[in-house]
Amino acid sequence: MKIKVSFFLLTLHFIFSQSKQENCATISKINTLIQVYHCQPKLVDDSLSSYVFKTIIEKLDREKNVFLQSEYDILAKHQYQIDNYIVNQDCSFLDEIALYYKKGLIRKLKNIEILETENIGLNTNDTLFFTKNENSFYPDEKGIKKILKKLITYEALRNIAFMSKNKDSLQQHFVALSNKEKLKTFDIFKCRIKNQLQDEKSFQEEIKTIFFKSFCNYFDPHTDYFSYDEKSNFLSSVNAVNSSFGILFDANENDEIFVSDIIPGSSAFENETIEAGDQVLKIKYKEEEHPVSCSSIELISNLIYSDNYKELEFTFRKKDGEIFNVLLEKKVMKAFENSAYSYVLHLKNNFGYIKIPSFYSSDYGLNTLSNDVAKEIIKLKIDNVKGLIIDLQYNGGGNVDEAIKLAGLFIDSGPVTIAVDNEKNQTVLKDYNKGVLFEEPIILLVNGFSASASELFANALQDYKRALILGNPSYGKATMQSIVPVEDTEWNKDFVNLTVQKFYRITGKSHQATGIIPDIEVPNLFEQIVSREKEFKTVLLNDEIKPQTRYKIYNNDFSYIVNESKKRILKSTYFNTVNSINKDIDFYLINKKEKMIPLTFDGVFDDINESSFIFEKVTTLYKQKFPFTIAKNSYDLKKSSLESSFLEKFSEKQKEEILSSALISEALTILDDLIKK
């Protein structure tokens, strides 16, 4: 084993020595792009060096069970030198990080294999301590072996606990279940490491990518390094049409991936063997095999969504245990999960509802968000809707031009936002089109996942007093990115998602790091655990500018309507229940911050199910339906007989979600009040 390890490390050293100059050249080019075009560039100094070093180590060894303390101490000499290495075009420090990382992975694998031979029991006298405080590295190999034993035991017990809420039944079959889960857990722990170790080139790529990403993220959370696959994956999330195998996937608590649905017309649909509920075991590209249980979510995601992989072989397992292989080819298809859709909601009057999942565009400018929403509005007008709800919840943004065009459907020309570059130049982005497509009252729904372009659009309608915003403070991202190739060559495979401008409201204020504050805030389940822009270490700070714009706001006084809504929310049984559940969540999270869990079946089962009473309350709450009706607009209703069972099922799911939304119910009541006024 020692001979093999030594040979492997020598091979790795040779590979990294060859690539270190290339890595330094690439990072220098990335830095040049950032210094020239970033809206707020920073110096390449000791502060950057420390951030990059700490981030690399954290991403490589988040659980602190790869590096020993002595190894970290050796590597720490680089903490304040990386800026100098970049200037001097010497990235050999990556060699040393890689060598110790490889050594640590091999050591970790060896200890897992030793533990497997020791036939460890799953009912132990050990405990596992969970803390949010930063752990230190272990001083010796014994410490790593001990924590690995605890983690493997916990993972196996956790998997058993997730099988059923019937504790007695699980205990009755515990011996058989524990043998099976222990074997499965050891296999997963081993194969994840072996997957990292098996290919020197992939290992080199992992270190390089982490270095590039850490460097870019220092400037702000959204400036990022993209490989070709990552760029392709990112763009597919904001595109109206994508290359797709035609499978929608779900993952369970154990990160197992299952087929949730098949899209008609796709290669998966034409295969006729694949069906909902099939588990994905393995994905093969040419000669590369990637078992799902051994691979990262990022890798699996890139394989499925990047247009670099036109053809993949999937290995599935059916519920009855049958395993089969299918070769699938991507087809260009409509991205249903990205596309806007509408319904007619009725509460005393007809109101339109439009859901906008993202601000998508297309290469040919045909299937764009603004065009699609315009079509939905025209269809809704046939049903004589008296107002409109635009749902921006969970909309992470997309194409800024589409946000400006969308605002133009509701305001009669004028500035929409102000973009500012690193020289403080103000560019007023306007709607130049006279007239509006929709003149009736509008309610916008936002939450902590509404970001970027969706915030830009909501800002404009709020500042013009064209719409009321209902929901929770938005994410707080007021920056624009552009994906730039590191080299302007046809063989370039490196890209930077570069923050080139900050955008401001037409008032000169910004929602950067603060989010948009709704006119009417509503209690929201799990609101206290929603992560926002302000929580990133390298977040850009909020500021204001003196705007060079003129605009005319709408003559709308919403004060009475807002006060009436706030009174209803205070009295609402539903929203008071939300507040009560959130208190339970707070109590649970406070106790969970630092917790000692006995590594026994009882200890882990009780811990897993400790929060079950909260989720039972949540499930009951989500089942509640509200007193309004929903239907397809008249135009879509005529076409519904031609729709596939997939689209019908898709539609039924959308309707169920809308009917169980207290936020939408309150929005309808507000619209009713507005048209009475």
Q: Confidence class of residue 590 from pLDDT cuts 50, 70 and 90? A: confident
Q: Where are the beta strands (DSSP E) in 310-367?
A: 311-317, 323-329, 331-334, 341-347, 349-355
Residue 642: the pLDDT is: 56
Q: Given a cut of 50, is residue 566 above it in pLDDT? A: yes
Place of tokens 């020598």: 10
Taking residues 210-223, what's their average pLDDT?
A: 98
Taking residues 4-21, what's their average pLDDT?
A: 51
Here the tokens at position 647 are: 């689209």
Choose between 331 and 447: higher pLDDT. 447
pLDDT digits (tens, 9 = 90+) for 115-126: 999 988 888 889
Residue 640: the pLDDT is: 67
Residue 21: the pLDDT is: 76
Kind and range of the H or E run holding 247? strand 247-251
Question: Do 207 and 57 touch, CB atoms closer than 8 A?
Answer: no
Taking residues 307-327, what's their average pLDDT?
A: 92
Provide DSSP, 105-136. Answer: HHHHHHHHHHHHHTT--SS-S-EEEEESSPPP
Least confident of 226-240, 366-380, 447-461, 623-637: 226-240
Q: Given a cut of 90, is residue 18 above it in pLDDT? A: no
Provide DSSP, 536-551. Answer: STTPPPP---------
Q: Confidence class of residue 130 from pLDDT cuts 50, 70 and 90? A: confident
Residue 92: the pLDDT is: 93
Question: Do 643 and 265 touch, CB atoms closer than 8 A?
Answer: no
C-beta atoms surrounding 637 within 10 Å: 13
Residue 84: the pLDDT is: 96
Taking residues 621-632, what's their average pLDDT?
A: 94
Alpha-helix residue ranges (DSSP H) falling in 353-399: 369-382
Residue 324: the pLDDT is: 94
Taking residues 331-337, what's their average pLDDT?
A: 80
C-beta atoms surrounding 366 within 10 Å: 11
Report residue 513 CA to chain centroid gap.
18
Q: Given a cut of 80, is residue 362 above it in pLDDT? A: no
Residue count of the chain: 677
Q: What is the dihedral of CA 10, 14, 17, 19, to 10 degrees?
A: -130
Residue 644: the pLDDT is: 66
Residue 364: the pLDDT is: 57
pLDDT digits (tens, 9 = 90+) for 505-541: 999 999 999 999 999 999 999 998 899 999 999 999 9
Here the tokens at position 217 are: 């993220």
Q: Confidence class of residue 409 from pLDDT cuts 50, 70 and 90? A: very high
CA distances for 440 relative to 115, 276, 443, 551, 560, angstroms: 68, 42, 10, 20, 18
Any idea what the Cα angle at residue 235 is, between residues 234 and 240, rounded to 5°? 130
Report the top-level CATH class of 341-676: alpha beta
Average pLDDT over the chain reads 91
pLDDT digits (tens, 9 = 90+) for 466-503: 999 999 999 999 999 999 999 988 888 999 999 999 99
Q: Confidence class of residue 7 from pLDDT cuts 50, 70 and 90? A: very low
Kind and range of the H or E run holding 278? none
Of all residues in the chain, what percent carry a pLDDT higher than 90?
Answer: 71
Residue 332: the pLDDT is: 83
Residue 459: the pLDDT is: 97
Q: Given a cut of 50, is residue 179 above it in pLDDT? A: yes
Kind and range of the H or E run holding 500? strand 494-504
- What's the CA gap between 655 and 648, in Å, rounded? 11
Q: Given a cut of 70, is residue 444 above it in pLDDT? A: yes
The ranges assigned to domains in the chain are 2-217, 241-334, 341-676
Here the tokens at position 67 are: 């590096």
Taking residues 68-81, what's their average pLDDT?
A: 98
pTM for this predicted structure: 0.91
Choose between 308 and 670: higher pLDDT. 670
Q: Given a cut of 90, is residue 341 above it in pLDDT? A: yes
Choose between 374 and 131: higher pLDDT. 374
Taking residues 388-394, what's their average pLDDT?
A: 98
The number of CA neighbours under 13 Å toward the Cβ of 169 is: 7
Q: Are strands 388-391 and 349-355 parallel, antiparallel or unpaired?
A: parallel
Q: Tell me which residue of 405, 340, 393, 661 sits closest to 518, measured CA to CA.
A: 393
Residue 1: the pLDDT is: 41
Question: Do 311 and 329 touch, CB atoms closer than 8 A?
Answer: yes
Kind and range of the H or E run holding 3? helix 2-37
Place of tokens 């074997």: 183
Question: What CATH fold (topology level) applies to the domain 241-334?
Answer: Pdz3 Domain (2.30.42)
Of all residues in the chain, what percent carry a pLDDT higher than 70?
Answer: 95
Residue 363: the pLDDT is: 64
Here the tokens at position 10 are: 């020598």
Q: Given a cut of 90, is residue 211 above it in pLDDT? A: yes
- What's the CA gap between 377 and 451, in Å, rounded? 23
